[in-house]
Amino acid sequence: MKYSTEEQKEWREALPKKVSAIAAIILNDKDEVLIGNPTYKDHWVLIGGTIDEGESPSDAVVREVKEETGLDAKFSKMLMVEYLQSKIGDKTYDSYQLTALVELKDSEKMKPGDGEMEELRWLSIPEAKKLLSEYSAGRLETAIGAAKENITLYREKYAQK
């Protein structure tokens, strides 16, 4: 069941002024990326979520991978740090969106977990980009580029005024 517009609004209003979130870039030996179809959105997403208060980004991404896939993971490298300003209705929200490369300890026991994911898929980068939102597809492509160059990127994206 997808969240109603009112439920989404209540969730956003309960968030702190600045949110920090992290997404995992999880690649297999075929260079396919793991993405999920969440129960609460109408498009596929990178595995990840909000960083809890007092939690490090590396701990958060490992926790999110476990919650959403049932898999044990290891933080490998921070690929991208992004300051994102979003305008939703008449409100502007600031967030830090982090993207990390994550290694799986074992992918045999993969299953959508915690009621958040309907389905998980390993897909080629071009195929994954077709299912992701425009923002997440760009985030994936940029993060893969950073991984290939062995660098960490920083960028800023502001809401339309």
Q: Write the pLDDT tens digit of every residue in 41-61.
A: 889 999 999 999 889 999 999
Burial class (CB in 10 A: 0-12, 13-18, 19+), 115: exposed
Give the integer Cα–Cα distance in Å for 138 and 161: 22
Task: Give tens-digit pLDDT for 125-161.
Answer: 999 999 999 989 999 999 999 999 999 999 998 866 5
3-state secondary structure of 138: helix
- Sorted by where each begins, the domain ranges of the chain are 5-157
Give dist(CA 15, CA 100) in Å, integer: 22
Task: Report yes or no on whether pTM surpasses 0.95.
Answer: no
CA distance 72 to 113: 12
Per the CB < 8 A criterion, the answer to whether 141 and 68 are in contact is no
Q: What fold characterizes domain 5-157?
A: Nucleoside Triphosphate Pyrophosphohydrolase (3.90.79)
pLDDT in tens, 71-130: 999 999 999 999 988 887 788 888 999 999 999 987 667 777 767 889 999 999 999 999
Structure tokens at 79: 């690929």
Q: How many CB atoms neighbour CB 105 within 10 A?
A: 9
